[in-house]
Amino acid sequence: MPSVLVVLVALAASLLLGEERFESQEWRLNGAGRAPLPFRAVGVYASVEVQVRASQDGQRWTEWHTAYPHEEGALIYFGLLSHYLETSAPARILLIDPGSTPQGGAKRLMRPAADAPPIVPREQWGCTPQTCPVRSAPTYTTPTHLIVHHSAGGNQSSDWAAVVRAIWILHVQGNGWNDIGYNYLIDPNGVLYEGRAGGDGVVGAHFSGVNSATVGVCLLGTYSTLGPQPAALDTLRQLIAWQSRKWGIDPGGRSLHVPSGLVLNHISGHRDAGLSPRASSTTECPGNGLYVLLPEIRRQVRAAVEGACPLRIQHPTRCLGAGAQSVDVAVEIAASCQLSVQSQNDWIAASPGPLGIRLEVAPNRGSARSGAVKINGQRVEIHQAPAGESAPPCIHFDGIVNAASFDDRPLAPNSLFTIFGEGFAEEPIQSASSSWPTQLGEVTVLVNDKPVPVGFVSPGQINVQLPVVNLGSARISVRRREAASPERLLWVTEASPAIFAAWIEEPGHVSIYYTGGGRNTPPPLATIGNRSAERVGVEPAPGLPGVQRAVFRLPEDFAADAEVRISVAGAVSPAVRLAASP
């Protein structure tokens, strides 16, 4: 039997739930061994992926579970009280027994506001002030951003309240934190649990050390290669809508998150903190299967918050020259709805105008500056060039999109994306299709300060091949001569497929040209109509940077204009219609 080192100091723990106590103890394990403490869950601390499994008797074992590298420890919940554990690699283990929840022990009893979803309070999931006291008084903040997580644990459990208790033990007794890190937790059945003690506005421990000004909500489970259950997503949307109303947050907007120094989407994923030099770590949380859903969640929650008066602002990002000027901002809103506008800067005056809102921008006699106005809570960003200079290139607010689907989902490494904006080029520029240059005339695109391959489409549209960069946020700007666009963040994920076209190029087969398949990800799966298709092969598309060609066998009973979709690593592409020929 491989060697087992037992750390003799047991971490203090006792929580009485019915007649059961739960405890925790630290252990170091390499291989299989009998645990010094019976356990229902383990926290795994390792720098690499570790497979773990448990047994009650040392003979019959659970299936292997993957513990992903996580600075805060990866929780694996087994459920049954076990005595043996096996790991595929050396790891520091926190043995956890959170007890079992009496039937009916976790109830939806709290509804703090009329528009809030029902919440299981701490006492009901087994965390009373006596059984899990906080170590110091909570601190408070005014949230500006809502951060989505996954727990990176199992997706199946018959006792989700016990899983929440296990997370509390991991965070407090394993990590030494003051309390559980998340403000809220949601199980796959859509049940919402109160997290950190102190109520709304309490600062948690969930956003890589830049926690102030955030609310953290964790979906229990691992969503690296699949998406959450519909019930969990429905509760997530309700929670975010309630918190957005409470704190005056535009769910579809973005603004500076002061602690991280990043201009983030108001609804962001944990991984988005990774680009900040102030962040304590990087992570793949909340998993690709959940992260790719965030743009649609933003749209859905904004629609819910706006209700009967949805507002659409045309080009809510403007880049201007240094001189004084009037700017008309076109808006679309129902005639029965009112418009309210508030300038955030004294050099921008806002009032009703012929198209919606007119902005009067004062001349700039200093360095480049940025400001904003709010129209019914939505931001219009104004970027003004330094004294004496003309307008720089400008990336539209939602101007970074997948080149195939033109949607704003996160982008995948090596994929092809499109930038829409203004001032990118003044005349048509030809580029080789098989190997794009990193400069088109006077135009260069920089991702994390490095030039990247670029192809010209029009003065307001260019195509770019994304290099291999870290997951989460990446910095991007467009430079024309010495003028550079305001820097923006783009959002990077493992895979985010979109199809350019699906053609029957030879009898019985369909060729699917797509981008966003990512790097080192599984090959794509395809459905034609409602039938799965057998994959024949995948290769780079000749002469098309960032594009793949996948060949599938056609199902025998396919329809001539059937919808075609592909999926990669839990992310599903928008549908396209099957075409008979190129």
User: What is the per-residue pLDDT for 425?
Assistant: 74
User: 52-76, pLDDT tens digit by residue?
Assistant: 999 999 999 999 999 888 778 889 9
Specify if 176 maps to a domain.
yes
Neighbours of 108 (CB within 10 A): 14
Distance CA 94, CA 271 (A): 25
Q: Which residue has the tokens 């989407």?
A: 265
Specify if 20 maps to a domain.
yes
Contact at 8 Å (CB) between 185 and 193? yes
Same domain, yes or no, for 133 and 267?
yes
The number of distinct structural domains making up the chain is 5
User: What is the per-residue pLDDT for 115?
Assistant: 87
Contact at 8 Å (CB) between 499 and 510? no
User: What is the per-residue pLDDT for 10?
Assistant: 30
Same domain, yes or no, for 532 and 457?
no
Specify if 111 maps to a domain.
no
SS3 474: strand
Last residue of some domain: 340, 364, 384? 384
Same domain, yes or no, for 207 and 337?
no
Same domain, yes or no, for 345 and 277?
no
Burial class (CB in 10 A: 0-12, 13-18, 19+), 168: buried
Last residue of some domain: 491, 518, 548? 491
Residues 486-509 as b/e (b if ≥16 CB within 10 A, e otherwise) read bebbbbbbbbbbbbbebbbeeeee
Contact at 8 Å (CB) between 311 and 376? yes
The CATH number covering residue 41 comes to 2.60.120
Q: Which residue has the tokens 């009973």?
A: 557
User: What is the per-residue pLDDT for 122?
Assistant: 93
User: What is the per-residue pLDDT for 324?
Assistant: 97
Q: Smallest Cα–Cα separation from 397: which of 329, 332, 495, 498?
A: 329
Helix extents (H) in 268-368 = 288-291, 294-306
Phi, psi of 404 (to 5 degrees): -90, -50
User: 93-142, pLDDT tens digit by residue?
Assistant: 999 999 988 876 666 677 788 889 999 999 999 998 878 877 889 999 99
Neighbours of 531 (CB within 10 A): 14
User: What is the per-residue pLDDT for 11?
Assistant: 30
Distance CA 378, CA 374 (A): 5
User: What is the per-residue pLDDT for 8?
Assistant: 24
User: What is the per-residue pLDDT for 415?
Assistant: 95
Segments of the chain scoring below 50 in pLDDT: 1-21, 432
Identify the bridge partners of residue 24 per DSSP, sorted by sequence position: 96
Same domain, yes or no, for 459 and 520?
no
Same domain, yes or no, for 218 and 367?
no
List, as one string, the DSSP characters of 231-256: HHHHHHHHHHHHHHHHHT--TT-EEE
Same domain, yes or no, for 368 and 406?
no
Same domain, yes or no, for 357 and 255?
no
What is the C-alpha R_g of the chain? 26
Specify if 320 maps to a domain.
yes
Distance CA 508, CA 552 (A): 9
Sign of CA dihedral 251, 255, 257, 258: negative
User: What is the per-residue pLDDT for 106?
Assistant: 61
Same domain, yes or no, for 9 and 81?
yes
Distance CA 271, CA 260 (A): 12
User: What is the per-residue pLDDT for 139?
Assistant: 96
The CATH number covering residue 437 comes to 2.60.40.10
| Helix or strand holding residue 218 (H, E) | strand 214-219
Last residue of some domain: 253, 276, 306? 306
User: What is the per-residue pLDDT for 104?
Assistant: 65
pTM, to two decimals: 0.91
Contact at 8 Å (CB) between 319 and 383? yes
Specify if 260 maps to a domain.
yes
Q: Both tokens of residue 282?
A: 């990087």
Residues 6+ apart with CB under 8 A from 438: 444, 445, 451, 452, 453, 454
Same domain, yes or no, for 217 and 288?
yes
Sign of CA dihedral 401, 407, 413, 414: negative
Query: How open is the CA angle 87-287-501, to the nearest 5 degrees?
Result: 125
User: 506-521, pLDDT tens digit by residue?
Assistant: 889 999 999 999 988 9
Neighbours of 348 (CB within 10 A): 18
Distance CA 296, CA 307 (A): 17
The CATH number covering residue 180 comes to 3.40.80.10
User: What is the per-residue pLDDT for 4?
Assistant: 33
Same domain, yes or no, for 135 and 176?
yes
**Preceding amide of 363 cis, omega within 30:** no
* Structural domain span for residue 81: 4-96
Phi, psi of 230 (to 5 degrees): -55, -35
Specify if 107 maps to a domain.
no
Same domain, yes or no, for 207 and 262?
yes
Specify if 569 maps to a domain.
yes
Specify if 105 maps to a domain.
no
